[in-house]
Amino acid sequence: MTPDALDPGCGRTLEELSDYLSAGSSPDSLHMDNCPQCQAALAALRRLHTLTGQLLESDLHQAGSTDEPWFRSIMDNLRLETKAGRSIALAGAHPDDDLSETEGAVVALIRTIGDTVHGATIGKCRFNGNLETPGAPIGIEVNVTALWGERLPDLANTLRQTLAQALARHTELNVDDIDIAITDLGVVSPGSKGNGTAP
Amino acid sequence: MSTADQLHRLVLSVPGVAAVYPADPAWRAPMNRLGAVMAPGTSAPEPELVRLRMDGSTAHVRIRVGASGDVPAPELARRIAAEIRATLGTETEMEAGAIAVQICSIAAVPSVPRKAEPTPSPATAPTATTRPSMQS
């Protein structure tokens, strides 16, 4: 069998997915319910909605604006992640095995794992290196929005360790560097459900 | 039951598999756009979940899955391929050829406490191809 060409991605836009999330229905729902890229983007949108719900009202007002840099950055990256991306080879037990995982799946894993770390919300996430060459050294750049009141070095260390564990478990990538940059700070309302500390 | 259906059930039963996705990632896209113009409300064909191609008596298989996160994803891919090979060899008269398994999503099993999450929307719940025990 000739190996299939690179996954072209599903082609749905973030706007379509956001509409689906808001309305709960779409003429394209059959696809969205069965597409891993759409599912990952929808999950990330849900988490983003949770974050915005935790911000102070003043920040929330700004967050609703597409001119707000951190919000626009996260949305831009989610838009990229609706694509499956490159195919990352996995070692097979049989010579005719053709095993892989998608770049989109790994990026979504990083975002999901990172978002579980208290005080962190993942923004940009990029791989540096040749993902398609087994064993090639890979660097990962992760931008993070941190909640005000977190000790940032501790947050970065926890995040780096958590991501390294998840990547070691679920990929065969040779990750030699996880570069974490705190690019924004958010403030949690004292009355919100978030666990962050108000200043 | 066709061999493709048999393999679909088999893969869904492998521990660590949360879902089976259409083998062709671009399925339905042309049909959607054409259908919206030509015949609103017309249903599109069901997606091909297991791509099975025959070359004489040799079966080549392609499948795309979502991982539950309970099993390391690389190990899961190898288990699936091995199960498919074993089934083709023992329960059919086919010879296993190339077996392509792609992990398309990996659910996170948290090692740290999760933040509060919103109630899942119906819009985000995978449907027919999801393991029943894995549905939320």
Query: Quick one: which of A88, A98, A168 has its CA closest to B80?
Result: A98
Domain containing residue B101: CATH number: 3.30.70.1350
User: What whole-number distance in Å separates Cα of residue A20 and Cα of residue A171?
Assistant: 31
- The number of CA neighbours under 13 Å toward the Cβ of A92 is 19
Closest partner residue to A115 (CB to CB) among B19, B115, B126 is B115
Q: Is residue A5 domain-resident?
A: no
CB atoms within 10 A of CB B125: 13
Higher-pLDDT residue of A26, A163: A163
B136 is a domain residue: no
In a 3-state reduction of DSSP, which class is residue A64? coil
In this complex, do A35 and B129 lie within 8 Å of one another by their Cβ atoms?
Answer: no
Domain count, chain B: 1
Evaluate whether residue B113 is within a structural domain.
no
Q: Does position A188 have pLDDT exceeding 90, yes or no? A: no
- The two beta strands, A87-90 and A137-147, are unpaired
Q: Do A40 and B105 touch (CB under 8 A)?
A: yes
Q: How confident is the model at residue B120 (pLDDT cuts 50, 70, 90)?
A: very low
Residue A8 counted as domain residue? no
Q: Give domain status of residue B16, yes or no.
A: yes
Minimum distance, in Å, between the CA of residue B7 and any CA atom of chain A: 16
Buried b (16+ CB within 10 A) or exposed e, A56-66: beebeeebeee
Q: Are B25 and A7 in contact (CB under 8 A)?
A: yes
Could you give the C-alpha distances from B90 to A96, B6, B83, B93, B96, in angstroms and in order?
Answer: 18, 13, 11, 8, 10
User: Do the beta carbons of residue A163 and residue A110 sit within 8 Å?
Assistant: yes
- Say which of A1, A33, A87 has its CB closest to residue B126: A33
Partner-chain residue, chosen from B60, B115, B124, that has the shortest CB–CB distance to A39: B124
Cα dist from B100 to A94, A155, B15, B97, B131, whole Å: 11, 39, 18, 10, 20
Residue B120 lies in a domain: no
Residue numbers of B between 23 and 42 with CB closer than 8 Å to A: 25-29, 32, 36
Domain that holds residue A107: 14-186
Q: Write the pLDDT tens digit of every residue in B82-96.
A: 999 999 989 888 999
A192 within 8 A of A53, measured Cβ to Cβ? yes
**Is residue B121 domain-resident?**
no
> B111: which chain A residues are within 8 Å (Cβ-Cβ)?
162, 165-166
With beta carbons under 8 A apart, name residues in chain B contacting A171. Answer: 73-74
Is A2 a member of any domain?
Answer: no
Say which CATH number the domain at A80 has: 3.30.70.1350
Please report whether residue A127 resides in a domain: yes
Most confident of A30-39, B18-27, B121-130: A30-39
Q: What is the pLDDT of residues B99-114, one digit of tens each?
A: 999 999 898 765 444 4
The pLDDT assigned to B98 comes to 96
Which residue reads 């091995």 in tokens? Answer: B82
Integer Cα distance of B82 and B90 in angstroms: 12
> Are B29 and A31 inside 8 Å of each other by CB?
yes
Which structural domain, as residue segments, surrounds residue B28?
1-33+47-107
Q: How confident is the model at residue A81 (pLDDT cuts 50, 70, 90)?
A: low
Residues 56-75 of A with CB under 8 A from B: none
Residue A106 inside a domain? The answer is yes
Q: Where are the alpha helices (DSSP H) in B19-123?
A: 29-38, 73-91
Give yes or no for a contact between A153 and A115, defined as CB atoms under 8 angstroms apart.
no
**Number of structural domains chain A divides into:** 1
